[in-house]
Amino acid sequence: MSDANIKSDIDAPCTKKLKLSHDFKNVVNEKGINLKDFIPEKILNNNSSRKTVCIQGKFNGKNGVALILLEKNAFKQEDLNESGYFSKETKLITYFQNDIYGNYECYPKPSLNGVKTSIIYPATEKHITKLTLQEVHLISETPELYKTLTLPHLEKEQFDLQWVYNILEGKSEQDRVVYDNKSEKEGFVLVPDLKWDGVTKETLYLLAIVRKHGIKSLRDLDASHLPLLKTIQKEGKEAIFNKYKVTGSQLRVYLHYQPSFYHLHVHFTYLRHEAPGIYAEKSHLLDSVINNIEMMGDYYKKATLPFTIHEMDNIFKVYETNGNVQRIKPNIESIELIDK
């Protein structure tokens, strides 16, 4: 799970009101939640480049706020044939045709039209803040700023980590575990990130969640953690190759700072996949992290590290109060949904 973990590079939606049909596909999860019972209230984030949208609403007859995240699936190579997109069931609507050029809309058979759906329920204000379109700022965090501002805040405000412990303790998602090193010091569990369907190579995305408790982020790493980091690097790549036939040289292996949750984890993504959070202000390649610590054992306790914050984040208020950032008057709004 991660970034459940959808981070930004988001497009501003238009501000006009619009209708949204309540005729969602009926999907039931283990909590008995049906999408047909979801009542949309507001679009928090509509990202046209990533083909994702986050909708805030509620479930009929249930208390609490719900967030629905919809994402268009990537094309699968095995569907690009006469029994998939080019089958007799596929329909074309012509937009225009001019000489050798034509523009159409394609309607393939229903089995190819699935939309990846994530549900956060009941959602907290932190979830809503994280997934709402908003202005972003870059902080250059010195060790002193980390100790005086960031650390006290994250110890007070971080997300509940019970879902992480459920995976590590074998209580949840065990059918999704790709690899499990049970060593207390160097162990980790490798699972598909929630943003990945677990099948499509082009969007491959896994998380290595360390078993050792108490390592919150990059800032906590030092020379004593080198065996753990090298184990994750070596065994994680081997496990991915064995299961998905993606070689280590085709993987982007990295840590986020700031991470979306404060229990050390490492991201593995297919190199051709432009996953959220792979950019310079967020991502630190595991190779570079290991190399930096080998050169200086306490490198990440002394380094100035960049990270981004959003204006609705509580940590933004902390840095704003101390004069490190200045708020920008927003020029965007979420879309209110009406049903008339």
DSSP SS3 for 1: coil
Shared domain check, 184 and 52:
no
Looking at per-residue pLDDT, the higher value among 16 and 170 belongs to: 170
pLDDT at 244: 96
Shared domain check, 302 and 211:
yes
Q: Return the structure tokens found at 7.
A: 């981070």
Domain that holds residue 101: 78-113
Alpha carbon separation from 4 to 69, 117, 247 (Å, rounded): 9, 11, 26
Q: Does position 255 have pLDDT exceeding 70, yes or no?
A: yes
Shared domain check, 297 and 150:
yes
Q: Does position 19 have pLDDT exceeding 70, yes or no?
A: no
Q: Does position 25 have pLDDT exceeding 60, yes or no?
A: no
Q: What is the pLDDT of residues 258-308, one digit of tens each?
A: 998 999 999 999 999 988 899 999 999 999 999 999 999 999 999 999 999
| DSSP annotation string for 24-42 | ----B-TT--BGGGEEEEE
Alpha carbons 305 and 302: distance in angstroms, whole number: 9
pLDDT at 179: 97
Establish if 328 belongs to a structural domain.
no
pLDDT at 2: 39
Shared domain check, 156 and 61:
no
Q: What is the pLDDT of residues 148-185, one digit of tens each?
A: 999 999 888 766 789 899 999 999 889 999 999 999 99
Shared domain check, 37 and 157:
no
214 exposure class (CB count in 10 Å sphere: 0-12, 13-18, 19+): exposed
Q: Does position 24 have pLDDT exceeding 80, yes or no?
A: no
Establish if 129 belongs to a structural domain.
no
pLDDT at 218: 96
Q: How far is CA 4 from the centre of its chain?
A: 5
pLDDT at 331: 52
pLDDT at 207: 97
pLDDT band at 141 (very low <50, low <70, confident <90, very high): very high
pLDDT at 116: 85
| DSSP annotation string for 240-269 | HHHHH---GGGEEEEEESS-SSSS-EEEEE
Top mean-pLDDT range of 107-116, 239-248, 319-328: 239-248
Shared domain check, 60 and 87:
no
Shared domain check, 101 and 196:
no
Shared domain check, 49 and 87:
no
pLDDT at 99: 87
Q: Which residues pair with 71 in a beta bridge?
A: 52, 116
74 exposure class (CB count in 10 Å sphere: 0-12, 13-18, 19+): middle
What are the start-end ranges of the E strands in 168-234? Answer: 179-181, 188-192, 205-210
Top mean-pLDDT range of 15-29, 63-77, 276-290: 276-290
Number of domains into which the chain is organized: 3
pLDDT at 251: 98
Establish if 340 belongs to a structural domain.
no
Alpha carbons 52 and 100: distance in angstroms, whole number: 33
Establish if 274 belongs to a structural domain.
yes
Shared domain check, 303 and 177:
yes
pLDDT band at 97 (very low <50, low <70, confident <90, very high): confident
Mean pLDDT for the chain overall? 85
End-to-end Cα distance, the chain: 37
pLDDT at 303: 97
Known catalytic residue: 22? no
- What's the CATH number where 174 sits? 3.30.428.10
**Catalytic residue chosen out of the listed positions 265, 267, 273, 310:** 265
pLDDT at 159: 67
159 exposure class (CB count in 10 Å sphere: 0-12, 13-18, 19+): middle
Establish if 332 belongs to a structural domain.
no
Shared domain check, 41 and 142:
no
pLDDT at 29: 55
Provide mean pLDDT across the span 215-232.
Answer: 97
Alpha carbon separation from 278 to 20, 254, 288 (Å, rounded): 32, 8, 14
Q: Does position 50 have pLDDT exceeding 60, yes or no?
A: yes
pLDDT at 48: 77
Shared domain check, 190 and 47:
no
Establish if 289 belongs to a structural domain.
yes
The answer to pTM > 0.75 is no
